[in-house]
Amino acid sequence: MPKREKELIRQERLLPGSRKSIQVKGKTAILIDDGLATGASMRAAVQAARLRQPARIVVAVLSCILRACQEFKEEVDETICGMTPPSFMAVGRWYEDFSQTAIKRFVIFLAQAQEFVMTRKGRQ
């Protein structure tokens, strides 16, 4: 097994609830990425989301090549591209700090997001 795949599996095991499948059938699936260079990983995410039969698929990215943004507009229900600079070169170029987010920090962000959603559900 390639080193990168082993690392992805290790990180997935650290995520709370990683064994549960996200239920998006009949809902809007919003797929977010920090940016698109080729769009290959987002295309894989779109294909995986389609298998779960969402009502709509939205792709949202901060920065990307104009061509990729235009292609996704034809592939999904809605595409949000924050910026499509003419001299794109690389996703990391458009961030002040593009360092890797530690998995522990990500788990904290995920827990905060889940708490926020549960709080909002309680108010409705």
% of the chain surpassing 70 pLDDT: 61
27 is a domain residue: yes
**How many structural domains does the chain have?**
1
Residue 74 domain-assigned (yes or no): yes
Task: Establish if 121 belongs to a structural domain.
Answer: no
Residue 44 near residue 74, CB atoms below 8 Å: no
What radius of gyration do the chain's Cα atoms show? 16
User: The domain that contains 56 carries what CATH number?
Assistant: 3.40.50.2020
Residue 64 lies in a domain: yes
Render pLDDT for 1-18 as a digit per residue (tens, 0 to 9).
676 666 666 666 666 555
- In this structure, is residue 85 part of a structural domain? yes
Does residue 3 form part of some domain? no
d(CA 73, CA 34): 17
Q: Tell whether the model's pLDDT for residue 70 goes beyond 70.
A: yes
Q: Does residue 113 sit within a domain?
A: no
pLDDT of residue 8: 63
Helix (H) or strand (E) holding 73, with range, is: helix 66-75
| pLDDT at residue 78 greater than cutoff 80 | yes
Residue type, 48: A
Residue 26 lies in a domain: yes
Bridge-partner residues for 86, per DSSP? none
DSSP string, 87-115: T---GGGG-S--PPPPHHHHHHHHHHHHH
Share of the chain above pLDDT 90, in %: 19
**Residue 64: how many CB atoms within 10 A of its CB?**
29
Q: What is the extent of the structural domain holding 38?
A: 21-92
pTM of the model: 0.65
